[in-house]
A and B are shown apart, each in its own frame.
Chain A
Amino acid sequence: MPVKVRIPTPLRKLTNGSDEVAADGANIADLIANLEKSYPGLRERICEPDGKLRRFVNLYLNDEDIRFKKNLETELKDNDEVSIIPAIAGGRFGL
């Protein structure tokens, strides 16, 4: 199930500059695993070593923060849009 993933500026080095990529996944965890296959290094930027999302990075399914849905188990359907939005501060970012 392809969904559109919005890539924030700090991670675009890993996606060859693309600000949007398409990826498959039945849920968010799946999606991250598939993104990692296509763009190695992406997972460790947004997830802790234990697989949980980092505390200064949010993933939004459409306009909802997945932490307030089912987190990594949040299911995806065709044409969903996922945005990765890191905390930023004065030229700094947490990714």
Chain B
Amino acid sequence: MNFTEEQIERYSRHIILPEVGGKGQAKLLKSKVFVLGAGGLGSPALLYLAAAGVGTIGMADGDCVDMSNLQRQIIHNNERIGKSKVQSAKESITALNPDVKVEAFHGRLTVDNIREIISGYDVVLDGSDNFPTRFLMNDAAFFEQKTLVSGSMFRFDGQVTVFKPHKGLPCYRCLYPEPPPKGLVPSCQEAGVLGALPGVIGVLQAIEAIKEILGIGDMLAGYLLVFDALKMTFRKVKVRKDPECALCGENPTIKELTAYQEEACDWKPAAKCEV
């Protein structure tokens, strides 16, 4: 791959790293990464993936930018309130790095569309905000044999891990076999979250995706990284592949995608946004 002069300058801090080099940068420029959700986790992940020169970035989100998002969703801004999040994110990415081809899907991922949407990507990031979507994404990534970089958060706590069941490593269902039943998920009210927290978790997801593309370092696959912002601690626990996993175990019972019912107040079609 021949770099332009501009690319040599833009990516010079990567290229001088022996672990990346021109070869690694070329890999990044050829890579395709999909990010589910252009919200709290998606914002920093998308920005750093774009800055790193990931050649094609796909994303899906069905919401429009709202004032209450801006406390943490730093890919958007005041002027974009009312626009679709994917359109807003696309504008930020293109302004940051015109090398990146952006594939934006304004809508919800469902049993019917998710496999087709993610099938062309090398790595998939989950920045979704609810359990039904997390299980759907896990199952779709398994069937499509995609490495899934998972990030989640709650108030001051975050969790990051990588699922590679197609490489003999665990999936989300090995870690948490089932989503909490509807009645137990406490509320549909918007829950509080420290604005900078998704910055930490989303950037860790971007780092894992970049390492996966470059083939360097040790991935979090097989481990769950738990971040506590109040105690300022990172802890790693082991995630074992569950031989009895309903999806990737020895006698799987899940053979195709199924939808979990969402909280009534969660289930909403893609919003109509100002263009």
Determine if chain A interacts with chain B.
yes
**Residue from B185, B235, B239 in contact with A83 in the complex, judged by beta carbons closer than 8 Å:** B235
The answer to the question of B26 belonging to the interface, with a C-beta cut-off of 8 Å to chain A, is: no
Closest to B150 in A: A89
Nearest residue (CB) in A for B157 is A9
A32, chain B: closest CB distance, angstroms: 18
Q: Say if the beta carbon of B215 comes within 8 Å of chain A.
A: no
A1 on the B face (CB < 8 A): no
Within 8 A of A (CB), among B174-230: 175-180, 184-186, 190-193, 224, 226, 228, 230
Residues of chain A lying within 8 A (CB to CB) of residue B30 = none
* A60, A67, A88, A94: most-surrounded residue (chain B CB, <10 A): A88
Tell yes or no: B129 within 8 A of A by CB.
yes
Is the C-beta of A49 less than 8 angstroms from some C-beta in chain B? no
B152 x A65 contact (CB < 8 A) = no
Pick from B155, B175, B179, B236: contact of A63, CB below 8 A. B236
Residue of A nearest to B263 (CB): A92
B231 partner residues in chain A, CB cutoff 8 A: 19
Which chain A residues border B190 with CB–CB below 8 Å? 91
B180 close to A94 (CB less than 8 A) = yes
- Whose C-beta in chain A lies nearest to the C-beta of B177? A55
Closest residue of chain B to A10 (Cβ to Cβ) is B154
Known: A9-B157, A55-B177, A58-B175. A91 touches B238 (CB 8 A): no
Q: What are 16 inter-chain pairs, A to B, with CB distance below 8 A? A: A56-B131, A67-B242, A83-B235, A85-B159, A85-B224, A85-B237, A88-B153, A90-B153, A91-B155, A91-B191, A91-B192, A92-B130, A93-B180, A94-B179, A95-B180, A95-B184
Interface positions, chain B 7-60, Cβ under 8 Å from A, are: 39-40
In the complex, besides A85-B224, A89-B130, 6 extra interface pairs with C-beta distance below 8 angstroms are A19-B228, A58-B176, A85-B159, A89-B129, A90-B129, A90-B152
- Contact check, B239 vs A65: say whether CB atoms are below 8 A apart: yes
A8→B153 contact, CB < 8 A: no
Report A57 CB to chain B, min CB distance, Å.
Answer: 8
A19-B231, A90-B128 known; A65+B180 contact, CB < 8 A: no
B162-176 contact mask (Cβ, 8 Å, vs A): 1 or 0: 000000000000011
Question: Are B176 and A87 in touch, CB under 8 angstroms?
Answer: yes
Across the interface, which residues of A come within 8 angstroms of B39, CB to CB?
Answer: 90
Distance A67 CA – B241 CA, assembled complex (angstroms): 11
In the complex, the 10 A-B pairs of residues with the closest C-beta atoms, listed nearest first: A90-B129, A91-B191, A94-B180, A88-B154, A55-B178, A87-B176, A68-B240, A55-B177, A63-B237, A56-B180
